Amino acid sequence: MTKRLASVTAEDYRLLAEKRLPTFLYDYIAGGANDEMTMAANIADFRKLCLKQQVMRDVSDVDISTVLSGKACRMPLALAPVGMAGMMARRGEVQAARGAEKAGVPFTCSTVGICSVEEIKAATNSPFWFQLYMLRNRDVVLSILERAKAAGCETLVFTVDLAVPGMRHRDRRNAMGAGGLAILSQIVARPRWAVDVGLRGQPHSLGNLTEVATDTSSLNGYKNFVEEQFDATVSWKDIAWLRSVWSGKLIIKGVLQEDDAREAMDAGADGVVVSNHGGRQLDSVASSISKLPAVVSAVGDQMEVYMDGGVRSGIDVVKAIALGARGVLIGRPWIWTVAAKKEAGLIDLLNTFQQEISVAMALMGVNKIDQLHGGMIERC
């Protein structure tokens, strides 16, 4: 294999992250549910879509800026919530939030992030989004929302597709959660991670859940917390309750069906994310990009529609926008990059996304994001 002189694309950073992370952590991020068919389809279905090139247009003033959740952004992209990002890189959520801020795009803090909203706020100057899982104890949920609001979060991303954790066989093969020699041997094999993240990156507790998560310093403790505290009884009436206690923007993440998108709208949501959780929940469901047009058709005139899953380049972003998305969220690309090259790497990757979007639009003969439309996409 030819050695890469520099990392440029998401795939470059994935390869580098695989070399630097302990196997159980790399597979936790890179893996999907069951046979990983949905995870593969998320990427493969983007490749089945071709862009239409238009020539002899004046494209001297290409502008890829847009507005996401009421805020101006340099491109139609946000960083998706990634649980335990601070285990992949030293204070990983902080590094990602700073990188996103410099690139002019939103960062989404996960409920189960290592860094708290207070730590992220102290390290940044721009408002960031907050992602919520519904916990059994609603008083704790209210407390978390108050903390998020105090930290300047104006957009809440509520994830609805994790009623129960998906079957992730890679994690079981790696004995993730079991601890002991199996995990220790993987850590020893990655001494750079062991020092930079394992030692210098402490504490590794879930910063936003200090009230209820008393034993999350180990992966087994984290697993037990998820099983005990995540609420499988959540229904649309809970979204209505959430809307009543959250005054900011509310985006529902994890919608694949038009009827669910309408339910989200009726419950008071401002937007939805067409998402299958990166193929990490129910395997054999359709790819996000294949479900996007129907959801846009159902609710796109009345609320913002985003998508995630399988986005690996600016070209993918252009395809999603042309099919009706307001913006896309990326998860694995940013966490691989921060794990491999920290904040500086993330800034470089986001710059690459910006350039890819701009060049693609110019070669398609358009100057503005809102000039992209479904007629500019064809099946390959």
pLDDT value, residue 374: 98
The CA R_g of the chain, rounded to the nearest whole Å, is 20
| Catalytic sites, residue numbers | 277
pLDDT at 40: 98
Q: What averages of pLDDT result for each successive group of 10 residues across the chain (380 residues)?
A: 79 97 96 98 98 97 98 98 96 98 98 96 97 91 96 98 91 77 89 96 91 64 69 91 96 98 97 98 98 98 98 98 98 98 98 98 98 97
What pLDDT is recorded for position 5? 77
Packing angle, helices 332-363 and 10-20, rounded to 10: 170
Residue 205 contacts residue 116 (beta carbons within 8 Å): no
Closest CA to 323 of 354, 292, 298: 292
Q: Which helix (H) or strand (E) holds 68?
A: strand 66-68
Tens of pLDDT, residues 30-82: 999 999 999 999 999 999 999 999 999 999 999 999 999 999 999 999 999 99
DSSP string, 124-177: -SS--EEEEPPBS-HHHHHHHHHHHHHTT--EEEEE-S-SS----HHHHHTTTT
pLDDT of residue 220: 62
Domains and CATH numbers, the chain: 10-379 (3.20.20.70)
At residue 226, the pLDDT reads: 67
